A and B are shown apart, each in its own frame.
Chain A
């Protein structure tokens, strides 16, 4: 059965959820190294006291044939400290396989809690990447919530990350 909702009603119902949009793009740089492994990566949103609102993405070797994918999660050090060591992986809708060099979009769902009810305040988007036999890099993008006008916020990585871009639209 199909329920037909009058156009006007659906607009009103959806309005609070559609009020904001957020997009995150993360660039994994192409590296010229003898032994390359795709980086483990975590992206999350922090409050001013460094506590974590939510993990947006966790890329790791979750299908490791020896079941050793979670052995190196601790190398995403800050994420491990703030979130990882207290949760079970994989996390539904958050964890996925590692990605090849290139630019990748990470979906941010503002219609689901806790982001749908994010209280007004100052927050930081954090992206941390750690590569086996390689380096580690952590980038931060501070932002104030809610936003009044469209914003494109950017952080540039030096080693393990390329450009990280957070687009916020009211």
Chain B
């Protein structure tokens, strides 16, 4: 009996974690471009293997593109299919573009007549969709952000500005100037402040065709900074997550923060 109860408890605890083990990402068709203007197309998906479309599309709600002058650029040809979403961006002026999909959601668990229920949705629907008689209500806020970068011509800095909300990457080395064998430095921020002691996981794409994941793990220092020396060229998936109590929604007691970047490393 005890064993079963423990197993159930573990299952419940692990469930959200397992759901997060799928990897969400944006995959640009190119990150370094030349010419007077250019187009890129971007895939967005949630998968196990990187970067293959085999599980779920990533919904484009919360997509924003910041151009070289720091202004918002509209995506084109957005569509969502069975396994991936896709959109195009016309790069009309030289410099660096930041592409981000950011989301703010709530998870709740509660009991009604002793039966355990789970809920997931937007803050404004919380009180509407959870019945009045709910007991043992716990609400968790989830803030996640997925990003990638592309540069036409010379890299620029304006688009790299962080928003000051949730977990974010503040590049020190320009994210479109990454080369195999070289060290790149970044800073991880929570609400614009350094995020110390956060584990960052870095995986090179194409793991379908290799036996080992080859995950690189680094931990941020006191100032939130970390460095990675790229072992090989490729498209890399960088992920970090953290939890704290700094919720921005009243009823939530815990905040889960997630950040993902797709970074292209070119051969020397």
Contacts and interface: CB of A to CB of B under 8 A. Distances in A.
A78 interface: yes
A74 B154 contact: no
Contacts, number: 31
B155 A71 contact: no
Contact of A77 (B33, B35, B155, B266): B266
Interface stretch (A21-29, A81-89, A105-113, A146-154): A81-89
Interface residues of A, number: 14
Contact of B177 (A70, A71, A78, A81): A81
B121 to A, nearest CB: 44
A72 B38 CA distance: 11
Nearest to B266: A77
B266 A71 contact: no
B35 A68 contact: yes
A78 B179 CA distance: 10
A70 B94 CA distance: 13
Contact of A86 (B33, B154, B266): B154
B268 A70 contact: no
B32 A74 contact: yes
Interface of A: 67-68, 70-74, 77-78, 80-81, 84-86
A70 B35 contact: yes
A124 B96 CA distance: 30
Contacts of A80: 32, 34
Contact of B35 (A71, A78, A81): A71
A85 B35 contact: no
A71 B267 CA distance: 19
A85 B155 contact: yes
B34 A70 contact: yes
Contacts of A72: 34
Which of B34, B35, B154, B155 neighbours the largest number of chain A CB atoms within 10 Å of its CB?
A: B34
